Amino acid sequence: MVKYLQIKSTDASILEKAENGGAVTSILKSLLELKTVEGVLNIKKGNDVYDGIPTYTTNPDDLINTAGSLHCAPTMISDIVARYLKDEVIAVTTKPCDAMAIDEIMKRSGINRDNVFMIGLNCGGTVRPTVAEEMIRLFYDIDPETVVSEEINKGSFIVELEDGTEKSVKIDDLEDEGYGRRENCQRCELKVPRKADIACGNWGSSKGYTFVEINTPKGEKIVQDAIDNGYIEVKEPSEKQIKIRSKVENIMIKMAKKTQKKQLNTEANEFDVFTRCLKCYRCRDVCPVCNCKVCSLEKPYFNENSNEKPDPLLMHGVRMGHMSFSCVNCGQCEDVCPMEIPLAKIYQRVQLKYREETGYVSGVTTEKPMIYSGDKEEIVE
C-alpha cells in the first residue's frame, strides 16, 4: 500500500474554494456519487468565519459549500454520528479528537466501524469563536466582522479582509496573552488522525496539493476509486517532503508535551474547584465518550429519597471513574461549563496518569481499557 500521496482535485470550482488541493471535498464527492456512502457529515461556514455548522448531506452538489478549513470551529462531530447516524453508511471529516472519540465509541459498540469512512484532517488546534473575535479586535486592530477568511500557517494566525489585505500575528504571542488556540489544543499531542482511513493536511505538501497519509485498506480503496473515476490526480511526495511533514509533526508534539507540564501542574486543577459546580450536567451531556444508555448519575440509588442531583463531588467522582481511561482531551466540557471549571485539564491529567500506569491511550489503543465495564456497551439511543 502506498502510504503517502499528494492529491489535487480535478474540479476547478473545488480547487478555488478548498483549503489545499481539494482532496477532501473531491473524495467526499466521489464517495457520494459512486454510492459508497449514503451521506456525508462535515462542517460548513455559517454567517461568518467564527460560525462552523455541522452539516449532513446526501447531495454531492452541496459539498462545494463545505470546502475549506474552519479553525474557529471546535465542533465535536462524533456525538452526532453516535446519536443520529449510526444506522447509515457515512463519510465524516474528523480532526484527531473527533477520530479518537469515534474510536472510543466504536470500542463500546456504539458505532459500527464498517459504516463509517473517516476522512481525517491533521490539526494544529482550534480557537474559540468568541476568543477569536476578541483577539482580532485587540491584536489586529480590526473589526472581526470584516474578516472573510482565516488560516493558521507557519505558526501564525492569519486573517484576510474584505479588501484582500492580510494581517498576521504569531500564535505564541497570542497565547502568551491568554488568547489563541484553546488550552486543551495547546496540550493536544495527536496531530495526525491515524485512526481515520486517510489523514489529510498541508505539512510538507507542494503548493496546490493536499498531503494525504493512507492508514487503512478502506482508505486505500476510496483514494483508488477517486483516481479511477477522475475525481483527483496524484503524485508521490519526495523523501524530503515526507521528512518535513514528520519534523513539523514532532515539533508540535514536543510543544504539546511541554505545555502539558506547564498547564497540568497548576493549582487550578485541585478538586476543590468542583464546589463551584451548578450541577447543570452540560459537561456530561456534551462529552463525546460519555454516552451510556443509562447514565450512572440517573440511577435510582443516587436519588432514592429525593429528586436532588448528587453532590458535585460525588457527581464528578462518578464521571472521573469513567473518564479516567476514556478522556480524549477534546475540551468540549470546559467550553460549555458556565462556571469556568477547568474540566478538560482535570480529566486529561487523570487520563495521562492512567496511561502512565497501564499504557492505555484513549482513542488510540486498539484494545478496550483494562477497567472497562460491559455496561458501557449500551450507548444512548
Q: Tell which one of 2, 280, 313, 380 touches ligand SF4 (CB under 6 A).
A: 280
Q: Is 327 in the site for ligand SF4 (CB under 6 A)?
A: yes
Tell me how many residues contact ligand SF4 (CB under 6 A): 38
Taking CB within 5 to 8 Å according to partner kind, which of ligand SF4, ligand FAD, none is near residue 283? ligand SF4
Q: Is 14 in the site for ligand SF4 (CB under 6 A)?
A: no
Q: Between residue 275 and residue 304, which ones bind ligand FAD under the rule CB under 6 A?
A: none
Q: Which is nearer to ligand SF4, 22 or 180 (CB)?
A: 180
C-beta of 266: minimal distance to ligand SF4 in Å? Answer: 17
In the β-sheet with 166-170, what is the strand arrangement from edge to edge? 147-153, 156-161, 166-170
Q: How far apart are the first and last CA of the chain?
A: 38
Q: Which is nearer to ligand FAD, 39 or 310 (CB)?
A: 39
Q: Tell which one of 275, 338, 370, 375 touches ligand SF4 (CB under 6 A).
A: 338
Q: Is 330 in the site for ligand SF4 (CB under 6 A)?
A: yes
* Bridge partners, 166 (sequence order): 160
Q: Is 125 in the site for ligand SF4 (CB under 6 A)?
A: yes
d(C-alpha 376, C-alpha 176), whole Å? 40
Task: Give residue 377's identity as a one-letter amino acid code.
Answer: E
d(C-alpha 44, C-alpha 40), whole Å? 12
Burial 9-31 (b: 16+ CB within 10 A, else e): bebeebbebbbbbbbbbbbbbbb
54 and 266 in contact (C-beta within 8 Å)?
Answer: no
Q: Tell which one of 99, 123, 169, 232 touches ligand FAD (CB under 6 A).
A: 123
C-beta of 9: minimal distance to ligand FAD in Å? Answer: 7
Site string for ligand FAD, 148-177 (x = CB under 6 A): ----x-------------------------
- For 364, residues 6+ apart whose C-beta sits below 8 A from its C-beta are 100, 103, 190, 195
Would you tell me which residues interact with ligand SF4 (CB under 6 A)?
74, 95-97, 123, 125-126, 184-185, 188, 277-283, 286-290, 323, 327-333, 336-339, 341, 343-344, 347
Would you tell me which residues interact with ligand FAD (CB under 6 A)?
18-25, 42-43, 52, 66-71, 73, 75, 93, 95, 121-124, 126, 152, 200-203, 210
